[in-house]
Chains A and B, each alone.
Chain A
Amino acid sequence: MSYIEFKNVCKEYKMGEIIIKALNNTNFSIEKGELVVVVGPSGAGKTTALNILGGMDSVTSGDVIVDGKNVAKLKNKALIKYRREDIGFVFQFYNLVQNLTAIENVELATQICKDSLNPDEVMEKVGLADRKKNFPSQLSGGEQQRVAIARAIAKNPKLLLCDEPTGALDYKTGKQILKLLQDTARKEKMTVIIITHNAAIAPMADKIIRFKNGTAESIESNQNPIPVENIEW
């Protein structure tokens, strides 16, 4: 039994009278501590899968097992608890609270978790120890994303889910972010799942899942992940 298992997961949206199948019988599994990259074209169901995994969306049918817990069957409050304690999210657009300083954004997450990490240490880890008192508007995109990552990992989650974390960043900054994520996965032994439409970065992962038409078309384990800095695209 894997750490994370997606079993026959289907997800349908109703748009008026049309039913859109976002996920069509998707199956995959992820082991603890793996750095997984999910690639695929727009609308292939990557984000939906990630949202379901992150407890932000429900399934139409199927099971989602995370560390022995069937997330698909969780009720609202348990689902929030799951998000609160087990999941760290990083978005393409950072989604920082504008009204809070960098460190406060991290604190926003840590104050609700039991086993949270020290916000200052986390800020140091993401390399923003000297910017932590700045407001998001005073930070660059890359810095903001670092804050977002810091906020996600400060909760000390079981899973770090990143949806296009570099989508809004330039090449160099993007690379730095990816490195941060890779380092986090390695050093903290954290299970990290990164969604990207950029197949070029796939080699950095321990496992590559390719989505197409609402299903995981191929799951491929990479025995020799390449450090991000060595990848060019």
Chain B
Amino acid sequence: MKIKKALLKDTFKEIKKSYKRFISILLMALLGVGFFAGLRASSPDMIDSIDIYYKNQNVYDIEVMSTLGLTNSDIEALSNIENVENVYGTYSRDGLIKTNDKEIVSKILCVDDVNKPVLVEGSMPENIDECVVEKDFLEGTGKKIGDSIDIEPEKTEQTGTTDEEGTEYLKNKTLKIVGVVESPLYISRERGSTKLGTGVIDYYIYVNRENINSEVYTEIYITLKNAEKYQTGSNKYEDYVEETKEKIEEIKEERENARYQELIDEANAEIAKAEEEFNTEKQKGEAELQDAENKINEGKTQIESGEAQITSNERTANQKFENAESQIESAKTEVAKNALRLNNEKIEAEKGFEEAENQKAGLQSTLENINNAIKIADNSIAEKQAQLETADTEEEINAINQEIAKLQATKQVYETNKQSIEAGITEIDNQIASGRQELQNAEAQINSARAEIQNQEATLERTKNNTYAQIANAKKELEASKQEIENAEVELENARAEFNTKIQEAEGKLIDAREKVSEIEKAKWYILDRQQNAGYSSYIQDTESIENLSVVFPIVFFAIAALVSLTSMTRMVEEERQEIGTLKALGYNKFHIMLKYLVYSSLACIIGGIIGMNIGFQLLPRIIWDMYEMMYTLPEFIVSFNHQYSSIGLGLIYICIVGATLYTILKEVKETPATLLRPKAPKYGKRVLLERVTFIWKRLKFSHKVTVRNIFRYKKRFLMTIIGIMGCTSLILAGFGIKDSISSILPNQYEDICHYDMLVSLKTALTTEQKDNYVEELKQKEDIQEVVETFMESGTAGKDNRETVQIVVPSDNKEIDKMIKLRDVKTKEPFTLSEEGIIITDKLAELINAKVGDMVKVTTADDVEKEIKVVGITENYISHYVYMSKELYQQVFGETYSTNVLLIQDNNLNEEQEKAIMQEMVAKNEVSTVTLTTTTMKTLDDTMNSLNYVVVVLIISAGLLAFVVLYNLSNINIGERIRELATIKVLGFYDREVYDYVTRETLILTIIGILLGLVGGYFLNFYILGTCEINILRFEKVIYPISYVYAAAITIVFSIIVNIVTYFTLKKIDMIGSLKSVE
């Protein structure tokens, strides 16, 4: 069919003339296709990016792990399977790195030809003392390239085999960081769990393969032939992998048994060797012990004879000394006897002396008396002689002489007495003197005898001392030898005991080893593919949720695009009714007439669509990737032109727009030329329902009546405007709603649910006492308000599908309430832990589809799995938790309970003060790590801020949508009512009045649209949140009141912009031109 040139020319002229309409259709197509294609392509672009990444890094298709490790024969067996291209045996193990008093758990991987890490900075580990780390490692530890780290690999591998005594998994444990890499195995932040440290792997590091010292491979990675033909994650790829997995499944049992047998043989051989060694060692030890015993016995005999000698010597000496002593003693007795006798004699003598003295004194007093008598006689004589002188008479003289003679005689007698007395006195004196002399002599004799005895005694003492000293020395010597022997005996005893324990130990070991051999479980192979990789699978899941999202949004756009073009084209066709009639009258057929409009709308549609898809493909996937980049590390995001979605998008918009055109034009061309040439009967004015409600109607201003009537007159436009505005408001509100939901997560979690400011992980080796002391110490601190002890470990929970959870077992079921609020989501009713069962967090319950009363499988960090009843579902926003009471934990897992985490509430410290305390704590021996809630919040906040992009995207798209719709509608409105508007202008309406006349309707419709949009947005928000919810976060489906205000305000701003444009369009209306034409 030949297309008439004139018609085509007419088409282009039409475009030029009505460029506004053309552009508005073009814009609708642009937005529709752009959004559709862009959003739809985001998910494939993300998959493309990971696909190319994985292909470039030669990432495995199938992974084989075994509980007993894997060997070269396994590799060989796997290599022979159909479709297997390469089989790589490789190693990985968890290790503990200590830096700045922090314990970090790292996955130690080795650089291989499979799953090649991407070098970001520095170089790969060429030597065994080098390693490369991930970027976060440097940020987390403050290390730089060139720094060294010390790593302590876990002693036991996950495979269940133990390192041989003395061998280390790493040849070199001090490693120099030489570069930064990104691992295709860890594209998300998830690093898996471990039995070390806190139970969570923090980072991965790569070492040189040569540094690893292991007999068995921990993993075997398999790449498949021609796998590059399929896109990762696609059904074809998965089928292909599944097919090969099934083939591996076939050799699985054989290999498992082989490995089991190998291990058993190896172990038995080792046991035999050990037994032999044990026996030789035992014999040797026993001989040595015997030897020592003999020697001791010999020594003992010698000591015994020595002892006898000393005893006899001692006895002889004692005898001698006794004799000597008895002699001395008898001498002493003799002397004493003599002395005593002497003494008695002396006393006797003294008595004699005294008697003699008394006699003497008697004699002397007699003598005196005599002397006196003499004197008296003398005196009497003298007197008588004097008397003689005087005496005259002879008689007298005679008498006197006689008397004198008598006196003389008496005196003579006295004199003679006196002499004899005097002799008696002298006699007595002599007797006393000689007696005394005698006594003195006897005394001297005794004294000399005594001196003699003393001499003898001294000599004896000396001899005795010498002899005894000699004996004592001999005894001491003997004692020393005895002690020696005794020591030797103890030593021997010890040695024997030691020997016995050693023997027992060795025997025990042998028994253990034998037991272990019998205990060696059958090897179990795990045949995995990429879907079991946490990062990969959540990435693929996320692409799915984007895909879901990309279905809804474009629908809104397509619907509106279709409506807008429908009205636009209807208007256009109506405007050109006469032309159509003329052409028809001239004899053009339907097709030719329709062609103009079809070409017109097709051009607008295709041009808009192509521009749209180009912008969309570039822009939207990037924006979306910007968001996801926070969660995933991929070296490059690849944006490609997706032919499938571009053609679908264009096709859909083409159907909407051109279909709408076709619909209108077909209606017109069916009519006869005559009808067409006649002006179309104008839409009749009608009374509206409201007019019947006279009490309202009467009160309305005239201009308002007009508005009300107009609104109901143009129903199509009425709907269009409302739908357009509604869409716009909904999108904006949904945007803000997402933002609100996201931003409420942190306060909800850390202000309402978790009340601790610090989470302190304690070192594992602490005793209860150490812990108690430390807790007490912390409690004393002024800055610390509350400390609660608990046990925390990571594990999994679920029924069919598993989610990673933190298992929290508080030491006190009540205390924990101070730190973590367990409460019902809706009623906020608090829960208390009991032995009845576990309390799980709400998002977890949702994900694993568990209700109160259900049994849920809980696996601890040690891989112990138990089924426990759920007794409560608690409110929570970040991560998954399983709470259980101490009693239940012990009862179910049968493990001894010991706390490993302290939850601390401080006295409203600021961040810096908290950091200071944290440093202080970390320096302590008891503390492994300290996590500040503030820091956690900051990190999460950063991640969540990225989701603000969604809001921006929504607002911009909503704005564009609103603008296009309103602009288009306003154009149609003016176009349709140009005569009316020209008329009122002629009547003298001021510009402002004309504007009001037209836009008052738009305003009312806008308000209705906004109100409906707020309702729609509420639901749209829920829908979007539902599709893009992140696994570990629970979005509270909340929209803050202010967001409603924002959404309404932003929509109003957009409509004001459009109204300003309208204002100028109205001002420019050509009254004359508009009124000239026939209606």
Contact = CB atoms under 8 A, between A and B. Distances in A.
B986 A108 contact: no
A144 to B, nearest CB: 11
B709 interface: yes
Interface string B706-721: 1001100100000000
A84 interface: yes
Interface stretch (A75-83, A176-184, A206-214, A216-224): A75-83
A37 to B, nearest CB: 21
A6 B983 CA distance: 25
Interface string B1060-1079: 00000000000110010011
A91 B984 CA distance: 13
Given A80-B991, A84-B989, A108 B984 contact: yes
Interface in A96-110: 96-101, 104, 107-109
A135 B1075 CA distance: 20
A95 B983 contact: yes
Nearest to B987: A109
B17 interface: no
Contacts, number: 86
Main secondary structure on chain B at its contact with chain A? helix
A99 B984 contact: no
Interface string B983-996: 11111111101000
B980 interface: yes
Interface string A180-196: 00000000000000000
Given A112-B989, A135-B685, A136-B685, A97 B1075 contact: no
A51 interface: yes
B462 interface: no
Contacts of B771: none
B685 A100 contact: yes
B1078 A93 contact: yes
A119 to B, nearest CB: 10
Interface in B967-984: 979-980, 982-984
A44 B354 CA distance: 207
Contact of A98 (B685, B990, B993): B685
Given A57-B1072, A84-B989, A97 B983 contact: yes
Contact of B682 (A101, A111, A137, A155): A137
B684 interface: yes
Nearest to B997: A108
A100 B685 CA distance: 6
B684 A137 contact: yes
B702 A111 contact: yes
A74 interface: no
A113 B990 CA distance: 12
Interface string A8-28: 000000000000000000000
A98 B980 contact: yes
Interface in B349-368: none
Given A56-B1071, A107-B702, A135-B686, A97 B988 contact: no
Contacts of B986: 54, 56, 83, 89, 95
Contacts of B703: 111
A155 B982 CA distance: 17
A34 interface: no
A140 to B, nearest CB: 14
B716 to A, nearest CB: 15
B705 interface: yes
Contact of B1079 (A56, A93, A101): A93
B685 A95 contact: no
B1075 A95 contact: yes
A143 interface: no
B984 A98 contact: no
Contact of B987 (A104, A112, A137): A112
Contacts of B1071: 56
Given A93-B1079, A97-B983, A104-B702, A80 B988 contact: yes
B685 A84 contact: no
Most-contacted residue by chain B among A54, A82, A93, A97 (CB, 10 A) = A97
B333 to A, nearest CB: 167
> What range describes how many residues of A lie at the interface?
35 or more
A87 B984 contact: no
A155 B1071 CA distance: 19
B679 to A, nearest CB: 10
Interface in A61-93: 76-77, 80-85, 87, 89, 91, 93
Interface residues of B, number: 31
Nearest to A113: B988
Given A135-B685, A135-B686, A83 B979 contact: no
Given A83-B988, A97-B984, A109-B987, A51 B1072 contact: yes
Most-contacted residue by chain A among B681, B709, B987 (CB, 10 A) = B987
Nearest to A151: B987
B814 interface: no
Nearest to B1078: A93
B1078 to A, nearest CB: 6
A16 to B, nearest CB: 14
Contact of A99 (B681, B709, B1072, B1078): B709
Contacts of A111: 702-703
Nearest to A97: B980
B683 interface: yes
Given A56-B1072, A104-B702, A87 B684 contact: no
B983 A87 contact: no
Contacts of B1075: 91, 93, 95
Given A97-B984, A104-B706, A80 B685 contact: no
Contacts of B683: 98-99
A99 B980 CA distance: 9
A76 B992 CA distance: 13
B715 to A, nearest CB: 13
B989 A80 contact: yes
Nearest to B703: A111
Contacts of B709: 99-100
B988 A99 contact: no
Contacts of B1072: 51, 56-57
Nearest to A84: B988
A76 B991 CA distance: 10
Contacts of A99: 683, 685, 706, 709-710, 713, 980
Contacts of A155: 987-988
Contacts of A80: 985, 988-991
A152 to B, nearest CB: 9
Nearest to A136: B685
Contacts of A93: 1075, 1078-1079
A80 B990 CA distance: 6
B713 A95 contact: no
B990 A100 contact: no
Interface in B283-320: none
Contacts of B685: 97-101, 135-137
Contacts of A109: 987
A35 B297 CA distance: 164
B1000 to A, nearest CB: 13
A161 to B, nearest CB: 10
Nearest to A99: B685
Interface in B671-724: 681-686, 702-703, 705-706, 709-710, 713
21 contacts: A54-B986, A56-B986, A77-B990, A83-B986, A84-B988, A85-B988, A95-B982, A95-B1075, A97-B706, A98-B682, A98-B683, A98-B685, A99-B980, A108-B987, A112-B988, A112-B989, A135-B684, A137-B681, A137-B685, A138-B684, A151-B987
Interface of A: 51, 54, 56-57, 76-77, 80-85, 87, 89, 91, 93, 95-101, 104, 107-109, 111-113, 135-138, 151, 155
Given A96-B983, A98-B980, 10 more contacts: A84-B988, A85-B988, A91-B1075, A95-B1075, A97-B984, A108-B706, A109-B987, A112-B988, A138-B684, A155-B987
The 7 closest A-B pairs by CB, nearest first: A84-B988, A135-B685, A83-B988, A137-B684, A99-B685, A95-B983, A98-B682
